[in-house]
């Protein structure tokens, strides 16, 4: 096949399926609106949702168009090494969040991740994190919007700016109406719609290339070669498709970037905070880890199929960029009807991703910036109204940042750079502060600030050609590692020079100070052995190791 035009040949049935989906999404938003009486209902679903709902929403919030378009692009560009983003770069951190960190988040009754930093350190650290998180969310929302625009451009031939604005309006409608509950229940629906759209692409694609063995033979004959079929071989040096050493993969991606994203990114943690009790909150990210183990089947494998079936894929601009791997496969492989389901799945993935960004932004803006520093002690309905205004603001700014994302031929490279700048220093500050009670408030602020400056500086020097890395992703790995190291060094230097908080002020916030009750709100059913967060987490980690064996 060649690139050709990206326009998809949709018929009336495809459009009917798409329209039905939009009606359902808005219906869910209106249904959720009836349960919103307070700001906690709007921002945290009244802390009332069961673990299976929050678990599916947790993985769906991450399964945005960014994930699907971006990981398929990485599958085509880097081959099987893309699996590291799931089995090293996600599952261990998700299990750690559920077992180790959620007791502190949920038990302290904080409404957001920045609010935890205010309690653990001080208000300057809180404000710094709140602002950096808000900036990160609107930048990432722009990436999701741009990914949607690519699909709408392919689907309808619309100009980029029209597709961006229409897509933004749909998300704005159901979050403004239904708050976090509207977002979460739609994310559960979207999880299944996304799979229904991607499974046919994978199955028909595999049939076309002669099954798994046919795909492996074709990849060996492609520009990736045999290296495209192995996850760990040749990682003793940087002579591999990803251009990364195993140390960068394990420490940069598997520890700093991964733990930074999954354990401190409020857009994800917010789903667990909305769970009905401590047990459900702890199980939320662990339940999400199980589908996360298998998502590569519908992202990485289609990327490999696109690599071997779409001639010329990998151009720096135009229809044959890696970003278009999934839309090109949909165009070439799917019959009408199925095409409608697939396009609906892609649009659903965009909405899930952007909704997570926007609902995270409106909560942090309202609670951690507006209420904390601009207008204190106002009635609750005032903050509910501010939250709705913040939702509109986030979407409008996201429209602008979508055009920044348009400047990157592989949006996953761009997003990893954002994570290394915003998440890595935050994770370093968090994890040291959570386990080292001696760490002081002043050390917390300067660690977070200096780590962020180092991450930004590393990225800018790389873009300017002053320092060299083998790929954009290797820069992200090392930028994240350097940021984390800076946080640790600054904390170690400043802490002995400044006065720590009293133990009683750190109860429920730091290991070893007490104050965390894991069983106080446990329901009768939560005591069942198969609901143990520790057991579920260990099984998920074991499966991640086992899945690596065939592709080592």
Q: Model confidence over 385-397: pLDDT tens digits?
A: 898 899 889 888 9
**What's the rounded Cα separation, in Å, for the pair 458 and 250?**
19
Q: Model confidence over 416-460: pLDDT tens digits?
A: 888 888 888 988 998 899 889 899 999 999 999 999 999 999 999
Per DSSP, the three-state class of 49 is strand
| 3-class SS string, 459-476 | HHHHHCCCCCCCCHHHHH
Spatial contact of 84 and 249, defined as CB atoms under 8 Å apart: yes
Q: What is the mean pLDDT of the chain?
A: 85
Residue 377 token pair: 């002690």
**What's the rounded Cα separation, in Å, for the pair 59 and 64?**
9
Q: Model confidence over 174-195: pLDDT tens digits?
A: 777 777 777 788 888 888 888 8
Res 206 pLDDT > 90? yes
* Mean pLDDT value of segment 304-318: 85
Cross-strand bridge partners of residue 49: 275
Provide the pLDDT for residue 22: 81
Ranges 90-94, 352-356, 373-377, 416-420, most confident: 90-94
Half-sphere exposure of residue 497: CA atoms within 13 angstroms, side-chain side: 9
Q: Give per-residue burial for 35-72: e unless 16+ CB within 10 Å, then b.
A: ebeebbbbbbbbbbbebebbbbbbbbbbbbbbbbbbbb
Instruction: Kindly report the pTM of this predicted structure.
Output: 0.86
Q: What is the H or E stretch that residue 13 is in?
A: helix 12-33
> Which residues, other chains included, contact 235 with Cβ-Cβ below 8 Å and sequence gap of 6+?
244, 245, 246, 249
Res 263 pLDDT > 50? yes
Provide the pLDDT for residue 126: 93
* Mean pLDDT value of segment 506-524: 72
Q: Model confidence over 67-93: pLDDT tens digits?
A: 888 889 889 989 899 999 999 999 999
Provide the pLDDT for residue 519: 66
Of the two residues 310 and 41, the one the predictor is more confident about is 310
Spatial contact of 355 and 328, defined as CB atoms under 8 Å apart: no
Spatial contact of 377 and 436, defined as CB atoms under 8 Å apart: no
- Band (pLDDT 50/70/90 cuts) for residue 9 is confident
Provide the pLDDT for residue 273: 86
Provide the pLDDT for residue 520: 60
> Which residues, other chains included, contact 515 with Cβ-Cβ below 8 Å and sequence gap of 6+?
107, 507, 508, 509
Percent of the chain scoring above 90 in pLDDT:
27
Provide the pLDDT for residue 2: 46
């Amino acid at each position: 096949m060649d690139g050709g035009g990206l326009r998809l040949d949709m018929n009336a049935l495809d459009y009917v399926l798409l329209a039905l989906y939009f009606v359902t999404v808005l219906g869910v938003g209106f249904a959720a609106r009836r349960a919103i009486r307070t700001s906690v209902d709007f921002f945290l679903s009244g802390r009332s949702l069961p673990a299976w709902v929050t678990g599916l929403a947790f993985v769906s919030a991450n399964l945005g168009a960014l994930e699907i378009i971006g990981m398929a692009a990485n599958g085509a560009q880097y081959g099987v090494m893309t699996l590291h983003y799931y089995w090293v770069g996600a599952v261990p951190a998700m299990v750690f969040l559920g077992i180790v960190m959620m007791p502190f988040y949920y038990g302290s009754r904080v409404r957001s991740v920045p609010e935890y930093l205010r309690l653990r350190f001080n208000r300057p650290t809180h404000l710094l994190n709140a602002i950096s998180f808000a900036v990160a969310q609107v930048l990432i929302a722009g990436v999701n919007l741009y990914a949607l625009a690519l699909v709408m451009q392919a689907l309808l031939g619309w100009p980029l700016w029209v597709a961006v604005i229409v897509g933004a309006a749909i998300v704005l409608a159901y979050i403004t109406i239904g708050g976090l509950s509207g977002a979460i229940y739609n994310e559960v629906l979207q999880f299944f719609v996304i799979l229904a759209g991607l499974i046919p692409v994978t199955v028909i694609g595999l049939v076309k290339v002669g099954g798994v063995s046919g795909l492996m033979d074709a990849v060996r004959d492609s520009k990736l070669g045999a290296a495209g079929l192995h996850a760990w071989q040749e990682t003793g040096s940087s002579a591999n498709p990803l251009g990364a050493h195993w140390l960068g993969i394990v420490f940069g991606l598997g520890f700093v970037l991964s733990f930074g994203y999954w354990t401190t990114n409020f857009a994800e943690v917010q789903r667990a905070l909305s769970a009905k009790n401590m047990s459900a909150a702890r199980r939320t990210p662990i339940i999400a880890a199980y589908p996360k183990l298998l998502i590569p089947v519908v992202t990485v494998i289609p990327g490999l199929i696109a690599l071997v079936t779409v001639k010329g894929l990998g151009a720096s601009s135009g229809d044959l960029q890696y970003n278009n791997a999934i839309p090109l496969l949909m165009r070439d492989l799917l019959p009408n009807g199925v095409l409608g389901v697939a396009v609906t799945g892609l649009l659903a993935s965009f909405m899930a991703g952007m909704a997570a960004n926007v609902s995270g932004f409106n909560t942090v803006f309202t609670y951690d910036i507006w209420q904390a520093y601009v207008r204190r002690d106002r009635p609750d309905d005032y903050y509910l109204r501010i939250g709705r205004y913040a939702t509109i603001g986030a979407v409008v700014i996201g429209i602008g940042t979508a055009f920044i994302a348009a400047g990157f031929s592989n949006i996953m490279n761009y997003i990893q750079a954002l994570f290394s700048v915003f998440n890595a220093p935050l994770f370093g500050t968090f994890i040291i502060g959570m386990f080292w009670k001696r760490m002081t408030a002043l050390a917390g602020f300067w660690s977070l600030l200096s780590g962020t400056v180092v991450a930004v500086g590393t990225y800018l020097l790389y873009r300017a050609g002053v320092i060299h890395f083998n790929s954009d992703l290797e820069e992200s790995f090392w930028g994240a590692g350097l940021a984390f190291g800076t946080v640790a060094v600054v904390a170690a230097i400043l802490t002995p020079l400044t006065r720590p908080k009293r133990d009683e002020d750190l109860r429920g916030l730091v290991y070893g100070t007490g104050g965390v009750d894991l069983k106080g709100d446990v329901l009768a059913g939560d005591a069942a052995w198969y609901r143990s967060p520790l057991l579920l987490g260990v099984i998920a980690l074991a499966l991640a190791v086992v899945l690596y064996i065939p592709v080592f």
